[in-house]
Amino acid sequence: MDISTAAIASMVALAIVVIISCVNEDLNVGFLGIGFAIIVGGVFSGMTGAKVMASFPLSLFMILIGVTFLFGMAQTNGTMEKLTAYSVRVCKGNTALIPLIVYLLTTFVTTIGPGNIAGCALMAPVAMAIATRVGMPAFLMTLIVVGAANGAAFSPFAPTGIISNGIIAKMAPQLGIAADSLNGLAWKIHFNSTVVQGLINIGGFFLLGGWAWIQKQRGATLDIDEIAPKPEPFNKHQLLTLGMVAVLILLVVLPGLPGMKGMFPKVVLNMLSNVGSIAFVLSCVLMLTGSGDSKAAVKVMPWGVIMMVCGVSVLIDVMDKAGGLNAMVKMIGSLSSPTSVVLCILWSLRFLINTK
């Protein structure tokens, strides 16, 4: 197979960036990706720095900013914390129900927008405190929280789902996928991911000691106020925030339902063309009503993750134009079999787990 120098250089650049990310997690891979993309493009592909930087996925960047900013305000004004506390109290002291409540709550919190990383960050302190109080091994609670968060990560509202759906939308014409079916496909992917992760993690929970723990907890009760003290009622600003989150969900879901798109005026559909534009409008409502602290929200936004995704996208785009992406696909295809692909995936997952 004849591979150009530019293609080889782009693959080497990607390999270097991946290796650096594994060795030193303090370095932001996104910025490294942009730097290497400029070097590969300028030296080997005849691309100017300006042209390389024009590959920056601005649309994806704006969507991620809009959604994470909205939920940044929901997080910093106490809405998400109170929602979590009230939800945990649903078990009403029945110890055996705690794993189910935590799993469903983590799935819900991740699905409505913060994503799997923020979902884990919100749930982990509460979940681990509960695990200690009820005598559940921390590993089992980790399976519940991380499994639920990763399962719901492909929600159309979550950053991971936004990224994957953006890639699918970009490839849709080549794959023969109709544009009007993308919304339904996004929810199907989210549902399938949730089900598969649920089967794996809940199964692992039972096999690795969860069932024995539940048997011991039969009939046991605890003072729910000890692990999840009843919070103050939602104030007006937090109620408005919950309302904005509900509106976000409705405005994303409803236009995609059969026969519903025609119910919305064209000017409304123009403004609400994607989840990011909806989030920006709703964020303005929270700011103008004093319900959200924009400065605090900006500080808690996952800027490192956002730049990592967008920066690596620039390198991948240059790699595609240099022919490296096509060459890599052909190389993998020529060396792979159904068995070897599965083994490589398992080995990669083991490597990533060990490096963390």
Domain regions of the chain by residue span? 1-54+307-356, 58-291
Two tokens at 263? Answer: 């119910």
Residue 350, pLDDT > 50, answer: no
Going by C-beta distance under 8 Å and a sequence separation of 6 or more, which residues neighbour residue 230? 85, 89
Beta bridge partners of 221: 94
CA 333 to chain CA mean position, Å: 29
164-203 burial: b if 16+ Cβ within 10 Å, else e: bbbeebeeeeeeeeeeeeebebbbebbeebbeebbeebbe
> How far apart (Å, rounded) are the C-alpha atoms in residues 349 and 336?
18
Instruction: Specify whether the CB–CB gap between 165 and 148 falls below 8 A.
Output: no
Tens of pLDDT, residue by residue over 171-229, are: 777 767 776 677 778 888 888 888 888 888 888 888 888 888 888 777 666 666 766 67
Task: Tell me how crowded residue 220 is: count the other CB atoms within 10 A of its CB.
Answer: 12
Contact 8, 324 (CB under 8 A): yes
Q: With contact defined as beta carbons under 8 Å apart, do 7 and 327 qualify? A: yes
pTM of the shown model? 0.73
Collect all residues with Cβ–Cβ distance below 8 Å to 193 and sequence separation of at least 6. Answer: 151, 152, 153, 154
Note whether 90 and 101 are within 8 A (CB): yes
Please report which helix (H) or strand (E) contains residue 188, including its range.
helix 182-205
pLDDT at residue number 96: 76
The alpha-helical segments, DSSP class H, found in the chain are 5-23, 29-44, 49-53, 58-76, 79-88, 98-111, 115-134, 138-151, 159-175, 182-205, 211-217, 224-227, 236-253, 266-271, 275-288, 294-300, 303-322, 324-335, 338-355
CA distances from 1 to 197, 276, 327, 341 (A): 39, 43, 8, 21
pLDDT in tens, 245-264: 888 878 877 766 666 666 77
Question: Which carries the bigger pLDDT value, residue 43 or residue 355?
Answer: 43
Q: What is the pLDDT of residue 349?
A: 46
Give Cα separations from 102 to 76, 127, 187, 270 (angstroms). Answer: 22, 7, 22, 38
